[in-house]
Chains A and B, each alone.
Chain A
């Protein structure tokens, strides 16, 4: 995985996790490009988009776009599952998550991301385990 982005329809970034080095202005440009590409697609299009020399796999949940940018030869469908897994975990952790939750608790969302993805790869796939760990971390605060 090259980077993970969660954006809303207006283009505001709710979460950006980069697994590759970029300059700040490059990051900003990337965010804008991804937003432009992803909001154009509607239900009739596939959810994979070719982007520079990578692929973007995205999924829309309510008003949020969850985008994963991966290498060209990665398995699209598997990462689609990963996105769904991630969203389910978020749902469980925040009890019916909505966009405001992501805004107000952004550092917690980062923790969830780190639990499930690390170094650009999928780390943990079992939702129960992830939740257990998150609760444990929370108790340390």
Chain B
């Protein structure tokens, strides 16, 4: 029993009256059942209404795919209402992935070739909205014909449909190229707009089209000029600017045409200047045109004066109170800052003002731009501003801001003292957000500035006394106090206010740091070592320090415990060494802004191995200097167990340090094979952390006149070993000492048995293929002990 079908309005009314989601669903389901029934029965008069209702249900989110076939039927019907609803349904319900859409192709074709404008318009619309690649190919000729139709209405739609087709099927661009030139002569703005878009699309896709269209640049220039100069037709003007959309599109096309092309750029220069000066920027439409002009000026090869003009326009945008305009200006200035640095500098104060914006995206852009604008002349003021910003900015920007300030300070610091001050300030305000190596950098910096030791240690002491929660600050302060504690107690320093510091106060402070639950384990490590160093620097007795060490000798944290135990041992057994051990550290060298800790350590180790024949005491002190050195920058250094005076042993203890993949006591290389210029050398590395692991690098060098190709090296080891062969760097060793080939072997030697290797080589050399098998027995003792 088919109930009388509701009118669309009534259905909508009913749905809106439904109070709950469930009720709404009921209504819709009931209606959908009706609709399905009526589709089946085929009620021609009212089917469009049914479909409309179905579409409404679809908009609300309910499934409606059973309406697809109905859409097709409706499209095919001769009545306009049916067609309209049918096409709408097609656009909403069908898309490329459904199989049914191809069935529309025929209907669209018929409709396109009929003479009725409205119908053609509808068909074009649908085609442009959901036309797939096959449909576009089929219907391309039709659309082309329509491009030249007398009716402007159809031509407009045809042009944009062509745009869509080109996007889907780029090969069709050839078909659409010829009509373009003719269409440019249009007077009708809508068609002109579409044509310009079409040309833009064509030019973006193919450079050939680009060349073709360079010819029309003068004409575009002319059109734009008329638009700007003559009084506008009221129907196209938006708040006083004549057809801004068309202007923007033409400007965009000019930008693409003029990119990297001198000639076209020259023709455009005047015009751009004219547009820039004549457009009124007080309303948004004018600003839109100006913005597009600026972008165009930036992209083409324009005169320098024009570029300055563009930057000035952006500067004016920045002063505008409308946030949107400011955002747009900041984004473009960011892009410009690389190329026109000096011009952008002039607007620096405005940019800095924008930092205060409540909108996060604006302030972030302002921050980036300000960081890019810092240079040696304005670094002091800029850092002032940026630090003010750091205090008030939202947390997600803080990390960026802090690292930006530190970077800028590094590059442009006028004096060391200023540099230290700046870093200190950053650490106090945003300590938790700085990068990890900031601590290392600061320590290195302070260490290097001899004259400022007293100054920095005082500043750090006062900062620490106020607040011990910022971890990086605490770490740096602890280190400094440890190193330069005597300077702190001297009491006089010209550069800061006199600060009377007692020994007790210093010790109390460090103990507080140790006990505070806010301190990270790394920080505690710093504090412990600092206390230790103070035992030599301070003149009072060391009972307090000894006590602390013994307490921490049973600490839960392994790292702290180890340190405390060692320091205890230093007090008890090696008191005579203590002074030498805890001397001031030598200056740490660093490799560039990123502290390469491994490089430092390997340098120290190289010094150490050279010092091996030197008597025990100095060697021990150098070793422990290394101790302190590792203490500073790398928080995870583990100390070797208490001193053993034999040189060989100290080296091996050093080997136990986990932090560096360095060839600690370098094992000499071994040449294992030589034949006709091809040499095979083995180099060994014993990584300090894993005593059973040996890394062998097999290097093949070729000094003969012929290349060695298809080089394969296979290795066998005795049963107790485990071998892992990694992929070689290549299988060709070029002649005449060309790039050697390397291959890495990993050998695990759990039993510490003597190591033997059996090598098998196959390669082609001088036209002959060579196979060699040989054993290597004379491997140095260090490789397997």
Contact = CB atoms under 8 A, between A and B. Distances in A.
Contacts of B189: 125-126
Contact of A119 (B163, B244, B327): B163
Interface in B81-139: 81, 84-85, 88, 91, 95-97, 118, 125, 128-129
A109 to B, nearest CB: 11
A94 interface: no
B245 A46 contact: no
Given A45-B359, A46-B323, A141 B81 contact: yes
Contact of A118 (B80, B157, B245, B295): B157
Contact of A77 (B91, B95, B328, B359): B328
A125 B12 contact: no
B9 interface: yes
Contacts of A121: 160, 163, 194, 197
Interface string A117-128: 011111111111
A129 B95 CA distance: 30
Given A75-B288, A125-B189, A129-B235, A119 B164 contact: yes
A106 interface: yes
Nearest to A49: B361
B163 A81 contact: no
A78 B245 contact: yes
A30 to B, nearest CB: 13
Given A45-B323, A141-B80, A77 B288 contact: yes
B156 A123 contact: yes
Which of A49, A123, A137 counts the most chain B CB atoms within 10 A? A123
B393 interface: no
A128 B245 contact: no
Nearest to A72: B331
Interface in A100-141: 103-104, 106-107, 110-111, 114, 118-129, 133, 136-137, 140-141
Given A19-B129, A118-B157, A123-B190, A106 B56 contact: yes
Interface in B180-220: 189-190, 193-194, 197
Interface string A76-99: 111011101100000000000000
A105 to B, nearest CB: 9
B529 to A, nearest CB: 48
B324 A106 contact: no
B353 to A, nearest CB: 16
Given A81-B238, A141-B81, A126 B118 contact: no
29 contacts: A16-B59, A44-B359, A45-B361, A46-B324, A46-B327, A48-B327, A75-B248, A75-B292, A76-B324, A77-B285, A77-B291, A80-B288, A81-B244, A81-B245, A81-B288, A84-B238, A103-B12, A104-B12, A107-B55, A110-B91, A118-B125, A119-B129, A119-B164, A121-B163, A121-B194, A123-B156, A123-B194, A124-B193, A133-B153
Interface of A: 12-13, 16, 19, 21, 23, 28, 44-50, 75-78, 80-82, 84-85, 103-104, 106-107, 110-111, 114, 118-129, 133, 136-137, 140-141
Given A104-B12, A125-B193, A141-B81, 11 more contacts: A46-B324, A46-B359, A76-B324, A76-B328, A77-B285, A77-B291, A110-B88, A118-B128, A121-B194, A123-B194, A124-B156
